[in-house]
Amino acid sequence: MKTKRTKRQISGIMALCMAFSLFAGCQKNVDEDMVLPPPPDTEATETTPEMTEAPTETTTEITTPEETDTLPEESTEETTNETTAEETTETTSAETWSETEMTAVMYITENCYSRERAIIGSTPISQHYIGDSVEVVAITDTGYYKLAAGGFIHSDYVSENKPVVTTAAPATAAPSTDSSSASVTAAPTVTPDVGQNTAAPFVNPGSISTGNYNISPSSRYAYKQLTAAEQTLYNDIVSAAYSFDSAVAIPSGMSKDDVVKVYAIVSNNEPQLFWLGTSVSAGTSFATISFKTTDPSEIASMQAEIDSAAANVLSKASGYSGTISKLKVFYDYIVLNSDFSKSEGGYNGSIYNGLTGKGNLQCAGYAKTMQYLCDMAGIECCVVAGTNSEGDSHAWNVVYCQNGYYNIDATWGDPINDFDSSYVQYEFFLVPDSWIHNITHYNVSTLIRSNGNSVRMYDPPACTKEGCNYFAAYNKIYSSYAEADAALKAEFDAQIAAGNNVVELRVTDKSVYDQMMTDDAYRTYQKYAKSKSGKVARIQRQKSLTGGVQVVHYDVIYS
């Protein structure tokens, strides 16, 4: 079964004249009582939203202190993360290497992993698939190619010639276990929610088809806040993406920061452009955009997979009349079918990995996949970029749900832990700004450039409502300690009986939250959980991200 594990990454960026690349050091939520493999690392390097001016080639390792919360009486209990054979392979090659700069676009010849270092047995960073294109910036004397996206791939798995990949016609999506869903190949008709995108369908200027997806850029919340010149550049970037035109004219009077801003907004809020690259070079008159692939047949094949997966999810969502339920279907699907990666290589920041589950995913990938499904269902949605408390870039969504706008963060519904693929948490499912802004989510819709500039992208909708929040909608919200304590024990009963890990509810009073998360409370609930089943080894609590939302969250660890 799938497990969530931290990995380390060293990123190298080749110097390019007046070039900018989208990176986001997206920090994932780490279950606090898990003992992680040393050293604990920030889950970093994401496709969007942060774009930094490319510096001279450097090697940087980003780390963050390990968060643990093991009480004294639990300190003798050992927690061991699962590791792969490759990660425990004894390294016999040299620990250092030299690099010779080069610039090339090469292709993966068989499925493989990029590595943290250019040595045999180094920690895998991200999986790459046969036929993927990679940008190479150096070759090492240990036989590895260094990638612009970060990491190294051995020369045995890379070639200047693109391999011929035979792709079978996409199969009809398998039936869902939900009795209300059925195998379909086209998106079902879903009654739009209030706040839907109502602009005229986008007229595709190129030959690339995006299936049933035809949302007009002019309907985007962010687009409507741009100046006329910025809207022109936005439209031209979208058109160029469909036509594979790398050169885009810059309207008169626009600065390089303006170009970076517009490109970031396009990258974040046009999720259907999954083949659009992560970098833009800004000159005085023209901008040069990048692509992950320019092969129409490859894109068509990938789009067919996207259509099949999206249709299956939308079919299940159409069985519900309420927007909250539809959003929960989308949220659960994204979380349960994704593994977080800090690498921005391949399609980690795109709807392709987010919908098909064929690769890892970054924050931007979680957010774009949510937007894509909402767009298809007629639910207004936008991607918001910012940072976490450590300054690492992060991306989430704002959606319109019944009575107003709400934040929804699928990335942090999918934390790093050693639980299996059934693990989902709902701390950031439909929450107002006041619960997260400058508490867990910082620099909202602001691009922090490496040159020190802060670029405001757009003003997201204000999220002021609470009624659609997960814990209110599913009757898991309490105002007094006595009520919450009894409800939490009932949750332990239900989840342990079902063999589940997550036990959580929300309280309306911060003092009640604090009381239920003390060391004494921890011990009391652990004793209670163990009394319910001999299979319960211990429990762990999450505190680093739950205070602002006032969610009391404990996880059950089974022996």
The band of 49, judged by pLDDT with boundaries at 50, 70 and 90, is very low
Query: pLDDT at position 203, please?
Result: 58
Q: Which residue has the higher pLDDT, 128 or 506?
A: 506
Residues 6+ apart with CB under 8 A from 359: 126, 127, 129, 341, 346, 347, 348, 352, 353
What is the rounded CA–CA span in Å between residue 269 and residue 265? Answer: 6
Q: Is the pLDDT of residue 461 over 80?
A: yes
**Which domains occur in the chain, in start order?**
10-159 (no CATH), 322-466 (3.10.620), 475-558 (3.30.1370)
Whether the per-residue pLDDT at 480 is higher than 70: the answer is yes
Give residue-wise pLDDT tens across range 169-225: 333 333 333 333 322 223 333 333 334 443 444 556 666 888 889 899 999 999 999
**Which two structure tokens, joined as six digits, stand for 464?**
């002021």
> Mean pLDDT over residues 161-170, rounded?
54
Over the stretch 481-516, which tens digit does the pLDDT of each residue have? 999 999 999 999 999 999 999 999 999 999 999 999
Kindly give, in sequence order, each residue whose CB lies less than 8 Å from that of residue 475, ignoring residues fewer than 6 positions away.
Answer: none
Write down the pLDDT at residue 346.
87
pLDDT at residue number 120: 78
Backbone angles phi, psi at 498, to 5 degrees: -90, -5
Mean pLDDT, rounded, of the chain: 78
The token pair at 147 is: 């990638």
Inform me whether the pLDDT recorded for 16 exceeds 50: no
Q: Is the pLDDT of residue 77 over 60?
A: no
DSSP string for residues in 337-384: T--B-S---TTTTSHHHHHH-SS-B-HHHHHHHHHHHHHHHT--EEEE
- Phi-psi region for residue 437, left (φ > 0), alpha (ψ -120 to 50) or beta? beta
What is the model's pLDDT at position 95? 66
pLDDT of amino acid 537: 96
189 burial via Cβ count (<10 Å: 0-12, 13-18, 19+): exposed
Higher pLDDT pick, 220 / 87:
220
- Dist CA 17 CA 538 (whole Å): 55
**Residue 37's pLDDT is what?**
30
443 alpha carbon, distance to own chain's centre: 18
